[in-house]
C-alpha cells in the first residue's frame, strides 16, 4: 500500500495527525494532534459538567425522579450543550479533515521521492 493512502487512513481512522506521525513528520503531526486533543478535552469537560449538574439536581431534590421530568431535563441540557459546543465540534472536524489531506500530500511526496 502506498504511504500516502496509509497515512491518510491513519489520520482518518485513528486520530488527526496519526498519519503524519507515522510518516515521522512529528512537528506537523503535533500541529494537528495538540489542537484536536485540546478540543476533545474541552468537549469532554463541558459534557461531564452538564452531567454532574443534572446529577446534583437529582440528589438535592430539585429534579424529581420521574421519567418525564428527567427526560425533559436531559433533552434541554443536550440542546443547550449542543449550541454551546457546536463551534468546537466544527473546529475538530476541520482539524481532522485537514489532517487527512496533509497526511495524504506528505505521503504522496514520499511516494514520489521513492520512485
Q: Where are the domains of the chain?
A: 3-113
Q: Give 62-103 pLDDT, tens digit per residue.
A: 888 888 988 998 899 888 888 888 999 999 999 999 999 999
H helices of 1-115, in order, are 3-13, 18-22, 26-60, 67-113
Residue 63 to residue 41: CA distance in whole angstroms: 28
What is the residue whose three cell numbers read 500541529? Answer: 31
Q: Check whether 12 has a pLDDT greater than 90.
A: yes
Amino acid at each position: 500500500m502506498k504511504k500516502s493512502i496509509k497515512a491518510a487512513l491513519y489520520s482518518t481512522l485513528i486520530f488527526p495527525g496519526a498519519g503524519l506521525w507515522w510518516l515521522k513528520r512529528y512537528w506537523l503531526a503535533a500541529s494537528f494532534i495538540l489542537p484536536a486533543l485540546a478540543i476533545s478535552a474541552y468537549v469532554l469537560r463541558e459534557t461531564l459538567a452538564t452531567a454532574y449538574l443534572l446529577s446534583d439536581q437529582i440528589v438535592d431534590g430539585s429534579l424529581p425522579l420521574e421519567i418525564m421530568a428527567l427526560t425533559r431535563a436531559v433533552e434541554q441540557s443536550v440542546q443547550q450543550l449542543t449550541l454551546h459546543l457546536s463551534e468546537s465540534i466544527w473546529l475538530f472536524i476541520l482539524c481532522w479533515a485537514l489532517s487527512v489531506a496533509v497526511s495524504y500530500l506528505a505521503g504522496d511526496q514520499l511516494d514520489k521521492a521513492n520512485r
